[in-house]
Amino acid sequence: MSVMESSNSQTLTSQPAMANSAASTLYPKITTHINEVVAILRKANCDAGNPEKNVILDPIPIVGTVKLHGTHADMLIYSDNRIVFQSRGVVGLQPTKDNAGFAAAMSPKTKALLRLRDLFTACYTQLDPDTPIDPTHPVLIAGEWIGEKIQKDVAITHLSKRFVIISININGQWQKDSDYSAIALPNHAIYNISRAGVFNHILYPENIQHTANELEALAEEVAKHCPFAATFNLAGEGEGIVWKPAFAPHNANPALWFKTKGGRFKPTFAPAPRQSSEHAQQMRKAAAAVARIWTSQQRLEQGLEYLTERHVQRNLQGLGAFLKWVQNDVLVEEKGCINEHGVDVQTLKIEIAKIAKTWYLERMEG
């Protein structure tokens, strides 16, 4: 059930955050690799006096919410009532320098957004009355901007544009989603991802494949029938599920969040390349093999979205920024596999660039 609020709109001009806070406010990247999460947990629980000792981890309850196929968007609301809009990579969006119309749609809603912040801080204070709100930190309301003309070929594209809250950060800490699941302002096209329900499951660190198989089956169901769209009486495809540990302190750590995707969004995991190769040709072939898998259609499309966010034209001048983004995205998301199997990074970047460049030139504008 949502906390609903209606109010008159006022015009707001978003202002960029201070440079030293920009990096810290950007939404964290979430891995698709459960083994990376388990590796972090294992390292955190290792015996400092005997780091070589094998750590046996207990099963961990996890909670999943529907992953929406839109474009990421955040609202940073400060104690002095400044409101800053940002995308995944750009702080200080403006109606004249926007991402899919997010800032333009939210800028006139000043009064409603301040009320939204107050709802979150009131809930926080009720849950933890002994911890004051730190005015140096904004309330960061992270979400997905979805609806018509933002993405394509999923059920939610048939909705009018709207903002869906997916995570809350107060006092510089990510909060437990379930504590704030009732907060939304549907009269202002602001919803909460919890309206689609949640998935409760168990992460078995000592049996990662078993966990992956079960979670992928759930993601496939979401991909076939989007639960969020269904709450608006729409049938059609979804994308997947985002998983977080159910309890503190792990649920506040984005390094332990992960996502599972289904249908056409399901990532293809590269097999382990040959190790200890003494020949450059073999190294190149190994890098080329994983590059073909990791430089996927979806990742390349996300690279174009990045250019749009940054208002970089899709021409020859934009090629360098596009290639750099795709290469970096692979290196970050596949870091665990790259390190584990000794993939040569420079060779991998060259092979990624070959694929991405050809794809980009075929879609270049002007």
Residue 48 has pLDDT above 80, yes or no: no
Euclidean distance between CA atoms 272 and 118, whole angstroms: 50
Helix/strand/coil for 244: strand
pLDDT tens, position by position, 108-134:
999 999 999 999 999 999 999 999 999
Q: Which two tokens stand for residue 188?
A: 């202002």
Which residue in 27, 14, 5, 29 sits closest to 192, CA to CA? Answer: 5
Whether the bond between 249 and the residue before it is cis, its omega within 30 degrees of 0, is yes
The mean pLDDT of 266-293, rounded to a whole number, is: 71
The mean pLDDT of 204-220, rounded to a whole number, is: 95
User: Domain 19-27+69-196: what homologous superfamily?
Assistant: DNA ligase/mRNA capping enzyme (3.30.470.30)
Beta strands in the chain (DSSP E): 60-67, 71-77, 83-86, 139-146, 162-170, 173-174, 190-192, 199-203, 240-245, 258-261
Radius of gyration of the chain (CA): 21
Q: 35-44, 142-151, 338-347, 348-357: lowest mean pLDDT where?
A: 338-347
The mean pLDDT of 245-269, rounded to a whole number, is: 90
Residue 17 has pLDDT above 70, yes or no: no
What percent of the chain lies above the pLDDT cut of 70? Answer: 88
Give the pLDDT of residue 137.
Answer: 95
Q: Which two tokens stand for residue 128?
A: 């933890």
Residues 6 or more apart whose Cβ sits within 8 Å of residue 298: 264, 265, 267
Residue 14 has pLDDT above 50, yes or no: no
The mean pLDDT of 290-303, rounded to a whole number, is: 88
Is the full-model pTM beyond 0.95? no
pLDDT tens, position by position, 56-70:
899 999 999 999 999
Q: How confident is the model at residue 269 (pLDDT cuts 50, 70, 90)?
A: low
Domain boundaries, the chain: 19-27+69-196, 57-66+198-265, 280-362
Euclidean distance between CA atoms 246 and 65, whole angstroms: 12
Euclidean distance between CA atoms 72 and 143, whole angstroms: 6
Give the pLDDT of residue 2.
Answer: 44
Mean pLDDT (the chain, rounded): 87
Residue 23 has pLDDT above 50, yes or no: no
Give the pLDDT of residue 7.
Answer: 36
Of 200 and 338, the structure prediction assigns the larger pLDDT to 200
Residue 12 has pLDDT above 70, yes or no: no
Give the pLDDT of residue 350.
Answer: 92
**C-beta separation of 313 from 365 below 8 A:** yes
Give the pLDDT of residue 253.
Answer: 96
The mean pLDDT of 295-319, rounded to a whole number, is: 88
Residue 271 has pLDDT above 90, yes or no: no
